[in-house]
Each structure stands twice: as structure tokens, then as C-alpha cells.
Amino acid sequence: MPDSAGSIIARDVCKYFNHGEVKALDGAGLYLRQGEIHGLLGENGSGKTTLVRCIAGIIQPDSGDIRIDGTPAARLSRSRRTGKVAYIPQHPRLVPSLTVQEFLHLGMDSKHAGKDDSDMRIRKISERLRIDLPLNTRGDLVPANLVTATMIVKALLSGPDFLILDEPSTSFTPLETERLFLLLRELAAEGMGILIVSHKIREVRQLAHRLTLLRKGKSLAETAASDLSLEEISRILMGTGDTAPELTPSCPGEICLDVRDLSKRSRESFILNISFSLRRGEILALSGIRENGLDCLEKILSAAIQPDRGEIRLTKGVPYPREPEQIKRSGIAMVPSDRMESGAALGLPVMENATVLVRKELSRHGILGEKKKEVYTRELLSKYGIAAHPKARTSTLSGGMLQRLILGREILSASGLVILCEPAWGLDVKGRLEVYQQILQLRDRGAGILLLASDIDEVLEIADRLLVLYNGEITASFQRNQFDHGRIGEAMLGICGTGERV
Amino acid sequence: MTKNRRIMVIVGGILLLLGLVLYVSPKPLEALGDLFTDPLRSPFSFGNLIATAGILTLSGAGIAVAMTSGSFNLGGEGQAYLGSLLPVMLLLALPGAPPALMIPAGLAAGAFGGAAMGWLSGIMREKIGTDELISSYLAAGAAIPIIDYLIAVPLRDPESYLLSTPKISEGFRLARLLPPSQLTSGILLALGAALLWWFVSRYTLAGYELKISGANPRFAALSGIRVSLYRSTGMTLSGALCGLAGALMSLGVYGAAIQGGTGGIGWNGIAVALIARYRPALILPAALFFTYLTQGLSAAVMASGISSEMGLLLQAAVFIAITAGESGKGE
């Protein structure tokens, strides 16, 4: 038995959902020491989140042994446990009605320390993270990346021995991710034990000292990060060597989205004189750092805000809808980047979420039968490899499975214009390839597909054309045969020497 | 939440009640006997049980409709009160008209009164962003004293020793099914409304869109559902059902609008909806359970020396235990 002081040891942990129907964990384990960064890798639905939730004490495992500093975790009081182990969930939430500052003050020991002293500690930690927190903003108005940053600061305020982060970089820009990783390295050097859950193999392999690989709820291997190559890790996690789809050349048809001289200055970001057009049978990617105008464009396309100048037209000059309700009714398929919040009703059964776009087709004379919804949902679930029962609550789905459900639903019923924002967020390699296949089939059926993505890796494999957005303007344009990772990256960062200037 | 857990919670609530009654009552066995057998002891009390449960089914369904659509109706009390007064005013004004026409018209007037109040709160939210929870509560708070005044002064029956309007003519009253109990043909209306709500929410496109709007408005809007329409319709329907519950009180139980005669319908409707967790199929059983317990407790209070305050306290303890147990996170 390994030395148990200063460590978290989990062995043979099993956890079942839906009365044993779904095996989330089936003999998982890991060994986390103080002073190290430990990566937990696995594909969507492999049980990563369930395992760390068991370790953090959010849920109870059905069997298995979890020891914190040698003491069985179940014997620790809740306050002892949360004092030792801080956990940052994948999609954290703040208290909607409290400002970030008030939220951070919650649970701080005000007996010994005054308010000023607390504020000082908050400032010290957020300075170490080097991300400015919007201290006076209400919780429900804080963007996702700053919510995660706030949670990290909050976790560190309690001075834990162990820090568990579930996919912390999902909502971060590359720069923020870099800063976070820098801080994590410092903290580990100071003796904290850090467990980071991710499906971004490359990222975690560079950061972590050791890795635990999880597949179908079982721990397969525990190794030093440098012992395995990326390819080896990927083979272990996936079982097979999936490859990227071969691209057939596109055959563009009529214009289905035409954007002319679009300008908008919103609170967070702006765009300036953006023009592009998208044809049926083509995949066009718009890429850039989100704050450089991508999120502004997304908001305009989801009709959340109206542009200051310029116009958007659909096929045959039809004006673009100005109300969110009108988008789907105009036959546009749209997956927003905040789809975890606005892409599903988590409290309702899976089948209610799966059928929302085809509700009219499934109903007759206003009657919408349960059976029809269930049949349609089963088809969707099997097509996208989603392990869930149509009647299960949607909130019981793992993050990756929920992403597949939302993307799959939109893609399956789409035909004309399809707008996908951050299409591969939250998906592992396998899920991504499956979604890419579906997108390509959709293109070949004659749909026009617009991808808005801040991570170029996510779109290079399938885009026919790529436009780079920098500082609110389209600064570069690449055809598929000109794609070059380095040059596109430089364009995104505003370093010149790009493809053809626009 | 699983079925087993729900049953456990309800059984636990009843056991808690038993323990409390045994503890506080000087004559525990008699109290327990009354508690459980009184509602079934005579056709009279059984009829009353069913009648009250029917009325609470209506207001409970009303609260649940609003909740499902994503709004909160705290004005059930006022809506029911107005719903009890309007039909009486209509029927008093036209004493000679044919009952076959006037009874449905009276019920419709009751539903209309409640619906108007609900609609007002709903439309204020959509147009100017007023919180419907507050506005429905305040609207009810304003309506109740006004209706109190109307019944006590301009509409009062001088002959009556109660603060009440004159009685409507016997022909306009809902048919009694189990005299002398309060059970009237209104129960059919309550059953029908509960059944209709269950059907609409489970098997229709409108019910589906209503559920999605309530569960996640942004998601619903992005899916092409007109959220504001459904939300205000939910408030309106909720008011209509509460108003209808009030109309059943005045047209069925009293034959007149009585000051304070509908007290409790709105609040108890919230309790019923909470116990049923807003599930359409559970509203009716929840209303029965609630009424059974209330009626049994009041009998136990009378018979066995438990003070009436203690009776209310027991009732509150049990309902808190049940709602807390039900809403606990079901992992």
C-alpha cells in the first residue's frame, strides 16, 4: 500500500445510475499526491466527472474505497472534507443575485478577519491568477470564463490541500488558460495536490506530472505524463485509431447567408464593416479570439442584439429574423455557444429536449403522442451514440453526452442554413469526429454551414473556407488548400503575414 | 425522483403526524380514531371531503399551470374570491332567466373574474417587466378588502345574520349529490378540469410548448416557441381555475357570496400543487390527501382536547416535512 499521508487514494470505485442500468464507474481509481498535478483523461461519458464528484463528496459511490490522508472519506465530516478538498465543477454557477465580491465573502471567516482583510485576500489570489474579476457584477451577468475564474479564487481562499478542476479551460481563452496553468504549477510547487479533468489530451499531457486514463468507468493506466506519447494515450482511451474524415471538394450552390457591412459596438466587443456570404453546400468557418468580435457576431446572428449598421439576408434576399423566436421558424438551425444554458431544459426528460425542433412534424391536429417522441428520440440517441434513456431526466446526462444531444438534434433536422458556434466544445476526439461526419453529410445534402469557432483546431479539418476575425474586422481569408496552422494562428493574434488580405 | 421515495416521504409525514398527535393529545387514542375515521364516518363528512378536495383540485391545478408555464401565481386567494362574487352578482341580476343557460354563464363569470386578475399580472410582466409573483399577490391583497366591502355594504342581504349577499334562487344552485353534505355536481367540473389539464400537458403540442417555456425560457425562445404568450396564458388559465374554484363555493356550497367564504383556496392550492410537485396526474390525489388530513385534524381537535392552534401547527409540520422531503435533491 502506498504512503497514505498527504494523498487521496480512490480504489475500485463503482457508481451506478438509474437503478444499476447505467454503469458510470465500474472499478475506477486514482492516486493523487500533494505537490503534483495529476491529469484524469477519458472520452465523453467515461466517468471522469462522476469519479471526481465521488472524491469531492458531492455524490456517494455505491462501492469502493476513497481515502483522504489515509482516513476513509466517508468518516470525514463535511466541513473537514471541503476544507481539505476544493472542487470546481465543469459548469459552475454563481449566486445570481449576489455580486462576485459578495459571493466570495460567503463562508469566509468574518470573526477573525474584517471585510478589508477579506478583500485583500481576494485581491492577492486573483492577482496570482492574473485574471481581473468583475467584483461588482451580479452573478447572473458574469460571463462563463469569469465564473470559472471566480470559482477558482473562491476555492483557493479556503486554502485547501487538494484542488480538483473539471474541464477548467472550456470557457477560457488561450491566454487565460496559460495563466491558469502557470498558477497551477506554482501551487503544486508549494505542495498542493491538483487533479485536473480534461479531454484535451495535448494540454493536460504538458501540464500534468502523472496521468490516470479512464475508459468506460474503469481506470486503465496510471503513468508519468512523459511515458506515453499522445498517440499512445489516444489509442488507450479510444480503443481504435479513428482518423479525420477525408474531405471531398465542395460544390457551392446559391447564396443562403449574405452579410453586408455589418457593424456593432456592444459592451464587451465590437465588429466593424463585416461582409461575407455563404453558399449552400459549403462550410465556412469564422475564427478568432472570442472578444475580437466573434461573440458580438454570434449575438447578432442569434437575434439577441441588433446591428448598428449593415444588413443580413437569407436566400433570395429575405431579411434575417430580428427576434430569437423567428430564427428556427425561418428554417435556420442554430447551436449557440452557451448551449449548456440555452440549449436544453435540464429538468425535463431527454425526449422532450430531443424532439423540440420536430414537435410540429410529430404532432397531428395539435396532438403530440408520447410514443412518437420516444421513437424519434431513440433514433437520435442511437445515431449519436448517446447512452441515455429517453425518459431519464436530462440533467443526469454527462456533459459530453448533453453536447451530443444538442448538436445532434439541430443537425438531424437541418436542411438550409446551419450556424454552429464552437461546434466541438466539450466533445472528445471520438465525439468530434462523429459530429464532423454529420456536418459533412449535411453539407453534401446541400446545407450551407457557418462555423463560429475560437479554436481553429476545431474547424480546420472540415472547413472549406476560413475567415479570421481580428479586432472586429475580417483580416484574412484562407481557402482550404491554403490552410496552414501557423499562419492562421498568427492572423488570429494580429501578427501579419497572412493569406490573401481582404 | 423515484416513486418509492415519494411514497416513503408521504408515509413518513403520516408517521410524524401520528407521533405528534400521540404526544400532544390528552386522549391520544380517541384523537387518532377521529383523525383517521372522521372523514369516512358518515355520508355527510365523506361528501364534504370530496367536495372540498374537488375545489382544491381546481385551485391546485391552477397554481400548477402557472408554475409549469414559468410564472408564479400568489394571487389565488383574490382570484377565487372574485370568482365567487361575480357569478352571484350575475345570477341575482337575472333571477328569471333559464337555469340551463345561467349556471354555465355563472361558472364562466367566475372563471372570467379570476382569469382577468391572472391575465393582468401576466401581461404586466411581458409588457413592463413587473414580477408576476409580487403583482399577483398585491392585486389579490387589493381585491380582497374591496370585495369584503361590496359584500358587507352595497350587496349585503339585510335579512341575513352573516355578512353575505342575498341567496341566489334555488334553481341556479349546482345540483346536490349527497345532501346534506356540500357535494354538488361541481365535482364533475373539477374532475373534468384535472383530466383536461393532464391530457393537455401530456399529449398536446400546446402543452409541450408550455412545459418547455416554463422549464427554460431562453431555450424555448431559441427553439421558436413564443415564450411570452405561453407565460401570460399560464397566468390567465391559472386565474381562471382559481376563479372557478371560488364559483363552486358560491354556487354550490353557500348559494351566496359570503365575506371570507373562499378563504384558504388560493394558499391551500399552492400546498396541493407543491405536494403534487406540479405533476398533472398527482393534483387530484394530492388534493384528496390534503383535505383528508385537514378534515381529520379538525375533527380530532374538537373531540380530544387538542387546541385548534396545535391542530394547525401539526398540519403545518406534516406539510413542511412532505414538501421538504419531496424537493430534496434526488440524485
Segment A238-244 shows an average pLDDT of 50
CB contact under 8 A, A359 and B219: no
Which whole-number Å values give the CA distances from A353 to A414, A486, B202, in the listed order? 16, 40, 14
The whole domain housing A405 covers 344-410
Which of the listed residues A362, A380, A410 is the one where a domain comes to its end? A410
Residue bearing the bigger pLDDT, A216 or B236? B236
Asked, for residue A2, whether it belongs to a domain, the answer is no
Closest CB to A368 among B208, B215, B331 = B208
Residue pairs spanning A and B at CB distance below 8 A: 67
User: Is A189 in the same domain as A114?
Assistant: yes
How much is the pLDDT for A228? Answer: 79
Interatomic CA distance for residues A129 and A168, integer angstroms: 13
User: Is A218 in the same domain as A164?
Assistant: yes
Interatomic CA distance for residues B266 and B75, integer angstroms: 7
Which of the listed residues A410, A442, A464 is the one where a domain comes to its end? A410
Q: For residue A329, which residues of chain B lie inside 8 Å, CB to CB?
A: 224
Cell numbers linked to B32: 387518532
> A294 to chain B, minimum CA–CA distance in Å?
19
Q: Which residues of B touch A (CB under 8 A)?
A: 202-209, 211-212, 215-216, 218-227, 331
| pLDDT band per the 50, 70, 90 thresholds, residue B220 | very high
How much is the pLDDT for A46? Answer: 81
How much is the pLDDT for A377? Answer: 93
| pLDDT band per the 50, 70, 90 thresholds, residue B234 | very high
CB contact under 8 A, A343 and B219: yes
Any B CB within 8 A of A105 CB: no
How many structural domains does chain A have? 3
| pLDDT band per the 50, 70, 90 thresholds, residue B12 | confident
| pLDDT band per the 50, 70, 90 thresholds, residue B288 | very high
Could you tell me the pTM of the whole model? 0.73
CB contact under 8 A, B204 and A346: no
User: Is A327 in the same domain as A404?
Assistant: no
Residue bearing the bigger pLDDT, A218 or A488? A218
Q: DSSP state, B254?
A: I
Residue bearing the bigger pLDDT, A495 or A500? A495
Any B CB within 8 A of A36 CB: no
Residue A245, classed as helix, strand or coil, is coil
> B217 to chain A, minimum CA–CA distance in Å?
8
Question: pLDDT tens, A124-181?
Answer: 888 888 888 888 888 888 887 888 899 999 999 888 999 999 988 777 777 888 889 9
User: Is A106 in the same domain as A188?
Assistant: yes
Q: What is the ipTM of this complex?
A: 0.81
Q: For residue B207, which residues of chain A lie inside 8 Å, CB to CB?
A: 368
Which of the listed residues A206, A238, A270 is the one where a domain comes to its end? A238
Give the chain A residue whose CA is nearest to the CA of B200. A367
Question: pLDDT tens, B150-200?
Answer: 999 898 888 888 889 988 888 888 888 888 888 888 899 999 999 999 999
Domain boundaries, chain B: 54-282
Asked, for residue A139, whether it belongs to a domain, the answer is yes
Cell numbers linked to B172: 341556479
CATH number at residue A464: 3.40.50.300
How much is the pLDDT for A195? Answer: 95
User: Is A353 in the same domain as A404?
Assistant: yes
> Helices B43-69 and B283-304, interaxial angle, to 10°?
130
Q: Is the backbone peptide bond immediately before B166 cis, with ω within 30 degrees of 0? A: no
How much is the pLDDT for A478? Answer: 87
* Cβ-based neighbour number of residue A192 at 10 Å: 20
pLDDT at B330 over 60: no
Strand ranges in A148-209 using DSSP code E only, listed in sequence order: 162-166, 193-198
Question: pLDDT tens, A287-317?
Answer: 887 667 888 888 899 888 888 888 899 888 8
Residue bearing the bigger pLDDT, A5 or B159? B159
Any B CB within 8 A of A22 CB: no
CB contact under 8 A, B222 and A352: no
User: Is A85 in the same domain as A196?
Assistant: yes
User: Is A380 in the same domain as A352?
Assistant: yes
Any B CB within 8 A of A21 CB: no
Q: Which helix (H) or strand (E) holds B252?
A: none
Asked, for residue A389, whether it belongs to a domain, the answer is yes
CB contact under 8 A, A345 and B216: yes
How much is the pLDDT for A423? Answer: 83
Asked, for residue A66, whether it belongs to a domain, the answer is yes
Asked, for residue A318, whether it belongs to a domain, the answer is yes
Segment A333-359 shows an average pLDDT of 88
For all residues of chain B together, what is the average pLDDT?
Answer: 87
